[in-house]
Amino acid sequence: MSQVTRPTVAPPAPWHFPAATTHDLPNGLHLVTYDVPGQYVVSVRLAVPVPLDSEPTLREGVGTIMARTLDEGTETCTAEEFARLLERKGVGYGAGVSDAGLSLDLDVVKGNLEPALDLLRQILTEPVFREAEVARHVRSRLAEIEQERSIGANRSMLEFVRTFYAPTDRSSRPTGGSPETVSTITRDDVAAHYRQHVTASGSTLVVAGDLGGLDVPALVDAALADWPSGPARARFIERSATHANHRSRVVLVDRPGAVQSDFLVGAPGPDRSAPGGWAPYPVLAYVLGGSPTARLDAVLREEKGYTYGTRSSFRPKRGGGSFLTFGSVRADVTAESIGIIVDILEGGRDGFSEKEVRAGVDYIAKTAPGRFATADAIADEAVGMAMDGRTTAFTTANLHDLVTVDRDRVTDAYERFTRLAGVGSGARGAGWTIVVVGDASQHREPLEALGLGEVTVVTDD
């Protein structure tokens, strides 16, 4: 019997994010295109740098209502007629607001890119914000707020930002506003916010897909050259959030009779300009809570069976960021689980194994080509980088740096993070903002017994 020689499997070659081409319109709009052969559904993403704190304090949420009503009728179409135009041209459309700004998304087959850009022009330059449509979206948002507060995971995030950020910082309040502010929003408020902020200057438009045979700059010029430039502004928001003076504590949101508890444990984290590079931080998140074999799930899910799963992530902003661990556990093991989570997180200061680090590096690096294989993923990454004041050259450089990450870099990065955040170096639980949504009558005393800091009980009454 002849022996067959096994083929040698070589490591994958370094991967590069698709090359970008840029073009600037006279009105200040910055165009970025990615030609991705074979991707015949073209993704269009627009980022408009509208800071959340530009909203009047008594009308917070007006940006969200504006985003949701941009396509609810134009100077030439009713809301129903415009919806039919989108459908007829096969255009998928969405809009939203985040702390980074206003974003608009379109996905359309290649052959209909030109009419899709004209529909985008109408959205950006001809919205009428009919009073009935604004009122409908205000009612919808108020109902949505009630629903958000009823879901434990959402409620924990609402309480976390209120505890974590200073009361004077816009980040401490919901992006979409509160019942008190949303209920006062009128059609005139929405129109005024639009006129002041939805302008071309500083905005970034990303177009990704199979662009062969298309002159995308000419198409965009023809569609959006007359979009008013507005006041000159940067393409991103230079801003760092202010943390609350007393963020290091445990907040228990009372849910009488709850059979599970939702939790969120967080601390200030780095942004992508972190000393030592950004690459170690996604690896840290993976090792701590990024997979079923991560440290948290290995104990809480696999060993004890307390949860379906927990997750950890570093969430960078333009200036600073946060580290969050979140999930849910059975009600009867709430306090024990919180204690385990804090101990595992603080135990990271003792270092990480080469096996753990290599698993995180391999997963993130080797799945990148798959994660960015489609036009929509490419466009999403590009517009996200634009809102952070970067280009996708950062994505490529970071992935190349990622493969050089070892246990020493990961351990150093975690030590640097915990030192700056003030966690793990003093009393147990110091520096962490911990929110638990559950039955206060069951959990308050056990949580206090953990010695993680002051326990504050809040209700939704």
154-165 burial, b for 16+ CB within 10 Å, e for fewer? bbbbbbbbbbbb
pLDDT of residue 10: 81
So what's the pLDDT on residue 293?
87
Distance separating alpha carbons of residues 125 and 226, to the nearest angstrom: 9
Find the helix or strand (DSSP H, E) in which 198 lies. Answer: none
Q: CATH classification of 21-224 is 3.30.830.10, yes or no?
A: yes
> With contact defined as beta carbons under 8 Å apart, do 353 and 274 qualify?
no
Options 3.40.50.2000, 3.40.50.620, 3.30.830.10, 3.40.50.300; CATH for 249-458 is 3.30.830.10
**pLDDT the model gives residue 238:** 66
pLDDT at 1 (0 to 100): 58
Digit-by-digit pLDDT tens for the chain (461 residues) are 577 888 888 877 888 999 999 999 999 999 999 999 999 999 999 999 998 999 999 999 999 999 999 999 999 999 999 999 999 999 999 999 998 899 999 999 999 999 999 999 999 999 999 999 999 999 999 999 999 999 999 999 999 999 999 999 999 999 999 999 999 999 999 999 999 999 999 999 999 999 999 999 999 999 999 999 988 777 766 677 899 999 999 999 999 999 999 999 999 999 999 999 999 999 999 999 988 889 999 999 999 999 999 999 999 988 889 999 999 999 999 999 999 999 999 999 999 999 999 999 999 999 999 999 999 999 999 999 999 999 999 999 999 999 999 999 999 999 999 998 998 767 888 999 999 999 999 999 999 999 998 899 999 86
H or E segment at 41?
strand 41-48
Distance between CA atoms of residues 390 and 152, nearest Å: 35
Token pair of 231 as six digits: 């006041």
The contacts of residue 338 (CB under 8 Å, 6+ apart) are 250, 263, 265, 434, 436, 447, 450, 452
On the question of a common fold for 21-224 and 249-458, the answer reads yes
* DSSP state letter for 169: S
pLDDT at 319: 84
| In the chain, domain spans | 21-224, 249-458
Residue 237 to residue 231: CA distance in whole angstroms: 14
What pLDDT sits at residue 205? 98
